[in-house]
Amino acid sequence: MTPERYCIREVAVDDEQLRPLIDLHHECLPSRQYATPEQKAGLLAEVRAGLAGRESLVLATFDAERVVAYKIAYRTGNRHEILYSWLGGVHPHHRRKGLARALIRAQHAWAHEHGITHVETHTWGDNPGMLILNLHEGFSIVGVTSGPDRPGVRVILRKALSAPVLPR
Ligand SMILES: CC(C)(COP(=O)(O)OP(=O)(O)OC[C@H]1O[C@@H](n2cnc3c(N)ncnc32)[C@H](O)[C@@H]1OP(=O)(O)O)[C@@H](O)C(=O)NCCC(=O)NCCS
């Protein structure tokens, strides 16, 4: 459960609202801490492009007015039945307080209310925190892949939000 001082809000998909989340993304990942302003601008553009023309959900957790956690997802699938949870993280000073769990639950509640039947996410195999969190929240590992951008295994996780409708 999120402690009282934290508040989850939906954030608009515009540069002003997304920029603090992109900054936070770089603070969350040790490999990104020394990113240049150009690299941050590049990710902002990538996120804008990735969400353009799609139904999306950008959630942020605030400690007073400072954003300390975020989760970015968009709707996809042939029948728009999948929510792809793309990026997420919690500031290192605010970890193990249930903030990521609360964001996942808020995201899945939104997806269920919007008729989405499955949530998918990808996590690198060397990210035990994200893997354990997702498994605890009901995801199953459904595959692995690799990317050209970095070594290692990308784990594909999926969770059904509602029971499948079986053919009669
Ligand atoms: C993974 C991450 C999101 C977890 O955030 P968090 O707010 O600390 O997680 P929560 O407090 O909600 O944890 C819920 C449960 O997940 C599991 N968990 C979370 N972090 C864990 C870790 N580092 N190791 C093992 N289990 C972990 C635990 O079961 C935890 O429950 P518990 O604290 O009662 O034991 C956070 O560590 C993070 O931002 N990591 C870097 C960002 C990242 O890797 N993003 C993915 C690429 S985009």
Q: How far is the CA of 78 from the centre of ligand 1 (A)?
A: 31
Can you give the pLDDT at residue 1?
Answer: 58
How would you class 3 by CB atoms within 10 Å of its CB: exposed for 0-12, middle for 13-18, buried for 19 or more?
exposed
105 ligand 1 Cβ < 6 A:
no
72 Cβ inside 6 Å of ligand 1: no
Instruction: Enter the pTM of the model.
Output: 0.94
**113-165 pLDDT, tens digit each:** 999 999 999 999 999 999 999 999 999 999 999 988 889 999 999 999 986 66
Q: Which two tokens stand for residue 121?
A: 């996410």
State yes or no: pLDDT of 2 exceeds 70. no
- Cα gap 56→74, rounded to integer Å: 4
DSSP string, 6-31: EEEEE--SSHHHHHHHHHHHHHH-GG
What's the CATH code, domain 6-160?
A: 3.40.630.30
Place of tokens 């893997």: 131
Decide: 70 and 57 in contact? Cβ < 8 Å. no
User: Domain locations in the chain?
Assistant: 6-160
